């Protein structure tokens, strides 16, 4: 079984146990993640896709967003990852190609789970804040917004 999926299912269960009669937005968000996310356990050599930009240390959102903009064959994902060193799920952004992760931020990543975020959506969010930042929650709000708005407690 996946450590990341166990972790996310645990968070979902916590929210399910805490809610009253109606679903709360956090519960709906984690259900959406688990339903639509993809688990990755294989990696592709990131250096063959790395262009001439200076990657940012601990800057996974910037690094992965620039990689997706520079390499049309790469997709952009946000979600969670696990490294050999840390061993617990951490929020993370990465790229993928042909079902394999391309990650120039973490050399020791071993498991990834995320949702593909369209690069045009990422670009729009970048322009709003004029900086690379996590956008997965904003994507959920746009895709599922009306559903969770009506279910707020």
pLDDT digits (tens, 9 = 90+) for 87-145: 999 999 999 999 999 999 999 999 999 999 999 999 999 889 888 999 999 999 999 86
Q: What is the DSSP string of 129-146?
A: HTS----HHHHHHHHHHH
Residue 90 included in any domain: yes
Residue 19 included in any domain: no
Residue 135 included in any domain: yes
Side-chain half-sphere CA neighbours of 70 within 13 A = 16
pLDDT, greater one: 120 or 56: 120
Question: Do 37 and 77 contact (CB within 8 A), yes or no?
Answer: no
The number of domains in the chain is 1
Residue 10 included in any domain: no
Cα 134-33-50 angle, rounded to 5 deg: 45
Residue/partner pairs of 47-53 with CB below 8 Å, 24 or more apart: 47/104, 49/73, 49/74, 49/95, 49/97, 49/102, 49/104, 50/104
Residue 33 included in any domain: no
For residue 78, the enclosing domain spans 39-148
User: What's the whole-model pTM score?
Assistant: 0.89
Residue 92 included in any domain: yes
């Amino acid at each position: 079984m996946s450590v990341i999926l166990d972790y996310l299912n645990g968070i979902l269960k916590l929210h399910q146990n805490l809610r009253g009669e109606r679903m709360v937005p956090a519960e709906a968000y984690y259900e959406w993640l688990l339903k639509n996310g993809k688990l990755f356990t294989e990696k592709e050599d990131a250096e063959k896709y790395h262009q001439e930009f200076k990657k940012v240390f601990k800057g996974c959102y910037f690094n992965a967003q620039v990689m997706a903009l520079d390499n049309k064959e790469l997709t952009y994902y946000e979600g969670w990852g696990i490294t050999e060193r840390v061993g617990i799920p951490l929020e993370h952004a990465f790229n993928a190609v042909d079902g394999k992760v391309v990650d120039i931020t973490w050399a020791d990543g071993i498991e990834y789970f995320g949702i593909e975020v369209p690069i045009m959506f990422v670009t729009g969010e970048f322009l709003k804040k004029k900086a690379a930042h996590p956008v997965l929650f904003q994507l959920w709000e746009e895709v599922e917004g009306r559903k969770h708005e009506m279910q707020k407690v």
